[in-house]
Amino acid sequence: MPPDRLLYNSSLLRPPTVKKFRFLRRSANSPGILYKTHPPDSEHNRNLDRSLPRQQFRGYGSASFCRQEISSAPHSSTTGRASAICHLPGLPPNPSPRTLSAAGMDPAIIAARDNVIRAEVAEREAECILMAARENLLEAREHALRLELEASAASQAQTMFNTLTSHNTTASGTATPVAVSGVPTEAYTFPVDKLKRRQTRPGKTPLVLVACGSFSPITFLHMRMFEMASDFVRFNTDFEVCAGYLSPVSDAYKKAGLAPGRHRVEMCSRAIESSPWLMVDPFETVNCNEKGEPEYVPTAKVLRHFDHEINTVLGGIEGTDGKMHKAKIALLAGADLVMSMGEPGLWSPIDLGVILGQYGAFIVERSGTDIELALSTLKQYENNIWVIGQVIQNDISSTKVRLFLKKDLSVRYLIPDPVVEYINEHHLYQEGPPKEKQEKINGSKNPGPESSNGKLIKG
């Protein structure tokens, strides 16, 4: 083998392999080292460098090479031989087998080198295939997750649609709603006819006031609360009132003197018919359980319902800048309700956190209530509670109206006239049967005083 072509030790053709080789180019005085075990600056290598002789050879071209075998150990394969091959000056970085053979390279080393190259190429191809497979798996998982979410959303929407629109037909052919827990059993539509969809005051936050109560029956004070709150908000806050809602409580509330929900909803609707911004939401009164029985709806859930309908379904309120803004949903109530919230164990702390912490409340003072005492136990929510003072005291209550009706006293000018007419029409809040019905039960009608000729005497 020409010594000016390739320097190699014939021992490489035997099973031993080289742990460390040092190649020195004398002309450039630059070492090129291939390490297998020991680091270059280890004491082991320095001692071996000093102890073993150096053999100088004439290398390829004008450079002189010297290779020194430092130590050897048994080798198990021919790939170790190929690992001892270093780049030779004058040859390309990746010489072909023909080029190496022409340079005097041993055929066994060339074959070992080819095997190593093939193995490396196969390994890289396998890595690429594995990486592509992993990416495909991730994409498949993401696609499956998207399909699952879309299917779940479609299923929920279909369930809600079926709940609100499906009916069972009775033998007589009338439609009977299907009862589902927590969902209205009648064809329910959220009222938005008087909702201000676009703000008129720049820089203000849209506000929707919600009053929850029995409204059995609705009084002028209930309606005045909204007007007082509107004035208070306009002059003392950074809100703009966009709507006011009355939400009559469910029949499951079981309060004394509570008229059926359909009557209370109708009385409220007639009372605020002339109002340009007040509406009645029958959501609570139409909620039933699986058996079709009325189901009580907590106040916190009612406020979430309004939040969902206005901010999620409708997308909020359009501001003067043309952008949609989330409306603030707030409870409108009397001071007696806040006093009950301050009583330990009466309200759930979670519900209080939702009502007063998340949404907030506007409280109207009432005579005979100590609002300061009530608020002293709700200090953590004081920044989300607004107290509205009554300039003109009004202590009309539904309880007093029912008492008047029970004693057959006039309630005109205590409640709106349409409500008075509705109560008389349906004989609500009366302890006994109406007079006409009682007269039919007795079998005769009291004709009043008569003259001798049988004619009625006026008077």
Q: How many CB atoms lie within 10 A of CB 390?
A: 16
Written as six digits, the tokens of 422 are 């509705």
Written as six digits, the tokens of 458 are 């006026």
**pLDDT tier, 108 (very low <50, low <70, confident <90, very high otherwise):** confident
> Which of the residue ranges 70-74, 116-120, 167-171, 327-331 has the most confident prediction, judged by mean pLDDT?
327-331
For residue 388, is pLDDT > 90?
A: yes
What are 393-403's pLDDT values in tens digits? 888 899 999 99
Mean pLDDT, all residues of the chain: 74
**pLDDT tier, 355 (very low <50, low <70, confident <90, very high otherwise):** very high
Give the C-alpha separation, 225 to 211, whole Å: 9
Q: Which amino acid is at 402?
A: R
- Taking only Cα atoms into account, the Rg of the chain, rounded to an integer number of angstroms, comes to 46
| Percentage with pLDDT > 70 across the chain | 64
What are 271-294's pLDDT values in tens digits? 999 999 999 999 999 998 888 899
Give the C-alpha separation, 307 to 354, whole Å: 12
**pLDDT tier, 95 (very low <50, low <70, confident <90, very high otherwise):** low
Identify any residues that bridge with 169 across adjacent strands, giving them in sequence order.
175
**pLDDT tier, 5 (very low <50, low <70, confident <90, very high otherwise):** very low
What are 174-222's pLDDT values in tens digits? 333 433 345 454 578 999 999 999 999 999 999 999 999 999 999 999 9
What are 26-35's pLDDT values in tens digits? 334 444 433 3
Give the C-alpha separation, 281 to 247, whole Å: 5
Contact between 354 and 303 (Cβ < 8 Å): yes
More confident residue, 81 or 230: 230
Give the C-alpha separation, 311 to 212, whole Å: 19
For residue 448, is pLDDT > 70?
A: no
